[in-house]
Amino acid sequence: MRILIAGGAGYVGSALIPKLIERGYSVDVVDLFWFGNHLGPQVGVIHKDIFDLQKSDLTGYNQVIFMAGLSNDPMAEFSPSKNFIFNAAAPAYLAYTAKQAGVMRFIYASSCSVYGYTENELFDEDRPVSSSYPYGISKLQGERAVLQMCNPDFSVIALRKGTVSGYSPRMRFDLLVNTMFKTAMKEGVIRVSNPSIWRPFLSIEDASIAYTRAIEANDNLSGVFNIASGNATLGEVADQVRATLVKETGVKVDLEINRVNDVRNYKVSIDRARNILSFHPQHDVESITRNLIANQSKCNDWDNPSYYNIRVFRDQESSASEELVTAQLGRSS
């Protein structure tokens, strides 16, 4: 089977793709490589913008996975316009082109962020969504756009993922458990913005399992699936990260508890993914933290800008603005 992954050189793709190759899949990646290329030589590379892809570029692929776009709230809020283009229009265009090219399945990397703010309820995929901020809105728009294209010959699966954490060759320290781990190791403190806020968390290993189950699902299966390793309050996550670090490394870690208002508060049911995709998460906050400890030597340059998506995005936007000004000056002269 041939698979094309848009944005496959990112955080999740860099961990997933080696596992897919081990299972015998042929994998290519289309990416602009803002965060570098941490993939092996056996991965084919298409260095293109998604909007430059044509039907001929996608012909011959069995499945296409969309992992591209802006990946968190800071990026979306920095450039709401780019957020809606990359997270809503790009997957719609790619799914449309994939369908025209005869691709059998399209998998969209959605997010539990679409649920917005809920209180004391476990949400399944049939519950109403209420996000009121750019990132969550754009992910829902992308999800709805690709799902409306499914038919008996074109399967569409949307994975609403919880906050992914754990080690990846393309590392990030702007994610829930990863951020707590980084500040604990660097500063000896874990900062909690609001201990009562609920989040579904997802280990990067479980994320890879979810994508594998979606790829290998029945050919005619389509739909939306919540994907998480578990649900916890931010206070509980901090306690578990701290306890694991103390147990495994002996470091002293303080807690700094705040009460910052948050527009996101949700916990999700993964029963549908369990029953239909046979997705059974194997990890928790403790095992995610142990995974980070085991790989610490590979990513302990804590302030490396490439570990923080918003820093890279700001640099890209700044460079693009400078190039535009230079081009305009050149035309005016």
Nearest-CA neighbor of 110 among 239, 259, 214, 238?
214
Does residue 326 register a pLDDT over 70?
A: no
Q: Band of the pLDDT at 257, cuts 50, 70, 90? A: very high
pTM as predicted:
0.93
Q: Band of the pLDDT at 319, cuts 50, 70, 90? A: low
The whole-number pLDDT of residue 34 equals: 86
Q: Band of the pLDDT at 324, cuts 50, 70, 90? A: very low
Please write the tens of the pLDDT for every residue from 76-132.
Answer: 788 889 999 999 999 999 999 999 999 999 999 999 999 988 878 899 999 988 888
Q: Band of the pLDDT at 309, cuts 50, 70, 90? A: confident
Phi, psi of 159 (to 5 degrees): -105, 110
Please write the tens of the pLDDT for every residue from 1-13.
Answer: 999 999 999 999 9
For the record, the structure tokens of 200 come out as: 């579904």
Length of the chain: 333
The whole-number pLDDT of residue 12 equals: 97
Per the prediction, the chain carries an average pLDDT of 93
CA angle, corner 7, sides to 163 and 221, nearest 5? 75
Alpha-carbon torsion (36, 162, 206, 108), positive or negative: negative
Please write the tens of the pLDDT for every residue from 139-183.
Answer: 999 999 999 999 999 999 999 999 999 999 999 999 999 999 999
State mean pLDDT over 245-259: 96
Indicate the SS3 state at residue 59. Answer: coil
Q: Band of the pLDDT at 239, cuts 50, 70, 90? A: very high
Indicate the SS3 state at residue 266. Answer: strand
Does residue 332 register a pLDDT over 90?
A: no
State how far the Cα of 155 lies from the Cα of 293, in Å rounded to an integer: 39
Q: Band of the pLDDT at 321, cuts 50, 70, 90? A: low
Does residue 330 register a pLDDT over 70?
A: no
State how far the Cα of 307 lies from the Cα of 183, in Å rounded to an integer: 13
Nearest-CA neighbor of 95 among 74, 113, 109, 81?
109
Please write the tens of the pLDDT for every residue from 194-230.
Answer: 999 999 999 999 999 999 999 999 999 999 999 999 9
Q: What DSSP element (H or E) covers 192?
A: strand 189-192
Please write the tens of the pLDDT for every residue from 25-76.
Answer: 999 999 999 888 999 899 999 999 999 999 999 999 999 999 998 877 788 7
